């Protein structure tokens, strides 16, 4: 795969919006043509070559294009927005809205990711080798009804902030670490797998989809009801060993209770009363 390297040697002190620099847009262009693309630096629109050192080669087809961002990458916003093919790699941290409305291809971030990573994503893969901020794979703040990602996969090897999968409709989010409050808020479909701890209020207002917490969680929202205990299950292509408490909800938001909240019993002994409640019901029946 041919690679184009864009290096931001000097800190611009303001955000740099690079939504135009995606494989779909630059495939088949010469280095000179790429250098003349425009980006917003704060409130100024400038040529790409005025802020980046442009090096490397550009393939003819989007699927063969690889873009590598280096330097002061934390200033970059909207990296990989609407990309449908190829690969983008960020060698460092990245700002808000990376992978927004992404349709395909792969976005790799070798650092921290800002808010709304993969917002409204349709397809493709995002992999973060650090932690991510709030609303991973989610809808926009204040959007009603919230409509988050519909497809694709987001893998975070660190921790994640609050409201992971806000309004999520499909796809998968895998968090290797822990997350803040309200993962799966207003969720309608898809899977969220949290291998670490959750700060609480998981699945609030969900009407579909599944949130799985393998670490500890303080409590279960009272609008969720215990449904069963599973010895294991498959989530986002991964086999998860139990015992696993399976709850349905959110009953206060939708009486159909089509959402699923799955919690490790081994790492949450304070929730054992739910298992005992199921056993009591079985005996009475």
The pLDDT value recorded for residue 278 is 86
Mean pLDDT score of the chain: 97
Given a cut of 60, whether residue 283 has pLDDT beyond it is no
Q: What is the 8-class DSSP label of residue 257?
A: -
Given a cut of 70, whether residue 285 has pLDDT beyond it is no
Which residues 6+ apart lie within 8 Å of 50 measured at CB? none
Given a cut of 80, whether residue 284 has pLDDT beyond it is no
The pLDDT value recorded for residue 2 is 75
Report the distance separating Cα 44 and Cα 38, nearest Å. Answer: 10
- Structure tokens, 107: 């976005």
Q: What is the pTM of this model?
A: 0.96
- Structure tokens, 62: 């989007």
pLDDT, tens digit, 9 for 90 and up, residues 159-211: 999 999 999 999 999 999 999 999 999 999 999 999 999 999 999 999 999 99
Which residues 6+ apart lie within 8 Å of 276 measured at CB? none
How many Cα neighbours within 13 Å face the side chain of 250?
19
The pLDDT value recorded for residue 60 is 96
β-pair type (2-8, 210-213): unpaired
pLDDT, tens digit, 9 for 90 and up, residues 78-122: 999 999 999 999 999 999 999 999 999 999 999 999 999 999 999
The pLDDT value recorded for residue 251 is 97
Residue 101 C-alpha from the chain's centroid? 12
In this structure, the number of other CB atoms found within 10 A of the CB of residue 103 comes to 15
CB 15, CB 77: distance < 8 Å: yes
What ranges do the domains of the chain cover? 1-104, 112-285
Q: Where are the alpha helices (DSSP H) in the chain?
A: 23-26, 31-35, 48-51, 272-284
Percent of the residues in the chain that have a pLDDT greater than 70, as a whole number:
98
Q: In what order do the strands lie in the sheet with 76-77?
A: 44-47, 38-41, 16-17, 76-77
DSSP string across 46-77:
EEHHHHSEEEE---SSGGGEEEEEEESGGGEE
Confidence label for 282 from pLDDT (cuts 50, 70 and 90): low
Confidence label for 280 from pLDDT (cuts 50, 70 and 90): low
pLDDT, tens digit, 9 for 90 and up, residues 219-230: 999 999 999 999
Strand, helix or coil for residue 155: strand
CB 8, CB 51: distance < 8 Å: yes
The arithmetic mean of pLDDT across residues 255-269, rounded, is 97
Report the distance separating Cα 109 and Cα 67, nearest Å. Answer: 12
pLDDT, tens digit, 9 for 90 and up, residues 4-53: 999 999 999 999 999 999 999 999 999 999 999 999 999 999 999 999 99
Q: Which of 208, 132, 196 is nearest to 164 (CA)?
A: 132
């Amino acid at each position: 795969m041919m690679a184009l390297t864009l290096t931001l040697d000097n800190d611009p002190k303001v955000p740099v919006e690079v939504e135009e620099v995606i494989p779909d847009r630059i495939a088949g262009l010469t280095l000179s043509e790429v250098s003349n693309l425009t980006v917003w630096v704060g409130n100024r629109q400038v040529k790409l070559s005025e802020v980046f050192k442009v090096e490397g080669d550009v393939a003819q087809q989007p699927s063969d294009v690889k873009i590598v961002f280096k330097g002061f990458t934390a200033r970059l916003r909207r990296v990989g927005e609407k990309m449908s093919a190829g690969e983008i790699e960020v060698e460092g941290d990245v700002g808000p809205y990376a992978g927004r409305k992404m349709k395909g291809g792969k976005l790799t971030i070798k650092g921290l990711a800002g808010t709304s990573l993969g917002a409204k994503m349709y397809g493709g893969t995002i992999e973060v080798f650090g932690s991510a901020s709030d609303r991973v794979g989610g809808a926009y703040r204040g959007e009603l009804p919230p409509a988050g990602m519909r497809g694709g996969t987001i893998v975070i090897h660190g921790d994640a902030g609050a409201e992971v999968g806000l309004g999520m409709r499909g796809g998968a989010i895998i968090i290797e670490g822990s997350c803040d409050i309200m993962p799966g808020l207003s969720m309608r479909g898809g899977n969220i797998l949290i291998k670490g701890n959750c700060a609480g209020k998981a699945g609030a207002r969900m009407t579909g989809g599944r949130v799985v917490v393998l670490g500890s969680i303080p409590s279960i929202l009272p609008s969720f009801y215990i449904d069963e205990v599973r010895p294991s299950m498959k989530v986002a292509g991964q086999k998860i060993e139990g015992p696993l408490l399976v709850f349905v909800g959110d009953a206060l938001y939708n009486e159909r209770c089509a959402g699923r909240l799955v919690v490790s019993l081994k790492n949450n002994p304070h929730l054992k009363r739910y298992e005992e409640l199921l056993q009591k019901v079985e005996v009475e029946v």
